[in-house]
Amino acid sequence: MSAVKNLPDYLSKEILLNPEQRVFPNFSVSRLLDTVFKPTQGCRVCILTDFDEPERWMKDFAFLKSDGFEVQKNAHHYFYESLRDGVMDELGMTGGEMFAYRCTHGSNLDLSDEVWDSEGKELSLDRDIYTNYDIVLCISTFSATAPLTERCKVFGFRGATMHGMNDIILRSGLAVNYEEVSDDAEKIRQALNRADEVEIDFELEDGRILTAWLGLDGQEAQKSHGLCQGTKPDIANLPAGEVYFVPVDARGQFPMKYEDGTLGILEVENRDVKSSSIIEGNQSTIDAHNALLADDPMTGTLGELGFGTQVLPVSYQDIQDEKVLGTCHLATGRDDHLGGDIVPDMFKEHVNSSHDDILFAPHKTPNFNLKEVRMKWGKGDDCRTEVLIQDFKPAPYMINSLAR
């Protein structure tokens, strides 16, 4: 790695080994919006956030006077106040209003149409927001990328989703230069493009190796790079910085760490998670997952394979941590916002039609090692294999691709 030339400072060996040492510029709403949305001149902008009781907490910004609501308070302080304190004038924008919808309690679930303004008035997302704003900034508890991607194509707006925003993300993942992020994502996208298959080896604490195989069928790799420039309807998911695929097939096994800490082994056939078995923890958690898979099998369909392309500190929010170089993630469920074929109507229950990331990263899954990720192009004697990740660190092939 040390022999690689033409790498920016943030890709030095020292920073790669200790991302917390990377120095970031101070966060600037003006710089972020100008870079992500260029042009902004003449655009009308608004902010969306979410509450369990939006009619209560949004009126007169009542949430500001209560404990909690970290994401919503960050949305108000760093975006709402900044827009009104000169950023809109600087960028030639108008609007700046803030609205709240009812929390979905699931990743990328469709939003209900009701939305409330700061006077407590109930409005409609379709009638009053999507039709009247050119740029929609959604700073929420759960990701709304999928539903906003679908609605922007209908109504013609641009936007960005920034769920789970905390102080670490503001100081790092949202403070970076997104032109550089886009350039790096494109370099890795080209390095991974049109792969035929991927093998991922996981090493458990007892020494067992689990291997998951995913078929990609030579597809064009896609990137989440943070730029939503021009006038074409689109949604940027921030922090950005990943290259991703929509698997066409999958089989094998991979470990799963559940929210309560339970560890399981997921069995995959024909792209679908079929069952889970316990390694340690609560058997009831495993039983509940197996019951869901049996009742609504689409919840186990693999809809994404993603690789991080940025050097960022751990934020303890998957939206940033899945963008870290040396990590990868799988996702089950809805993937229409990624160009896939899994749409909400295919699920038995609407509440199940989420897009759920499964992140493999040292802080998230310390109980097992991401031993090796291998990507292959071609078949038989014509097959070329490259190692992408070893022991949660980017392999030389990934580093070299960034030096081109």
Q: What tens-digit pLDDT sequence spans the chain (404 residues)?
A: 444 567 788 888 888 888 889 999 999 999 999 999 999 999 999 999 999 999 999 999 999 999 999 999 999 999 999 999 999 999 999 999 999 999 999 999 999 999 999 999 999 999 999 999 999 999 999 999 999 999 999 999 999 999 999 999 999 999 999 999 999 999 999 999 999 999 999 999 999 999 999 999 999 999 999 999 999 999 999 999 999 999 999 999 999 999 999 999 999 999 999 999 999 999 999 999 999 999 999 999 999 999 999 999 999 999 999 999 999 999 999 999 999 999 999 999 989 999 999 999 999 999 999 999 999 999 888 899 999 999 999 999 999 999 86
Looking at residue 403, its pLDDT comes to 84
* Residue 238 and residue 217 in contact, taking contact as beta carbons nearer than 8 Å: no
Dist. CA 135–CA 47, nearest whole Å: 9
Instruction: Give the per-residue pLDDT at 17.
Output: 81
Domains of the chain and any CATH numbers: 29-171 (3.40.50), 178-402 (no CATH)
What pLDDT is recorded for position 1?
A: 43
Q: Which residues of 375-389 are buried (b: 16+ CB within 10 A; e: fewer)?
A: bbbeeeeeeeebebb
Parallel/antiparallel/unpaired status of strands 44-51 and 94-102: parallel
Residue 404: predicted pLDDT: 64
Q: What sign for the dihedral angle of Cα 295, 298, 299, 302?
A: positive
Report angle CA 180, 182, 187 to the nearest 5 degrees.
95
pLDDT at 2: 45
What are the tokens at 19? 């991302």
In the prediction, which pLDDT does 85 show?
97
Task: State the pLDDT at residue 4.
Answer: 55
Q: Where are the beta strands (DSSP E) in 103-208?
A: 114-116, 122-124, 135-138, 158-161, 197-204
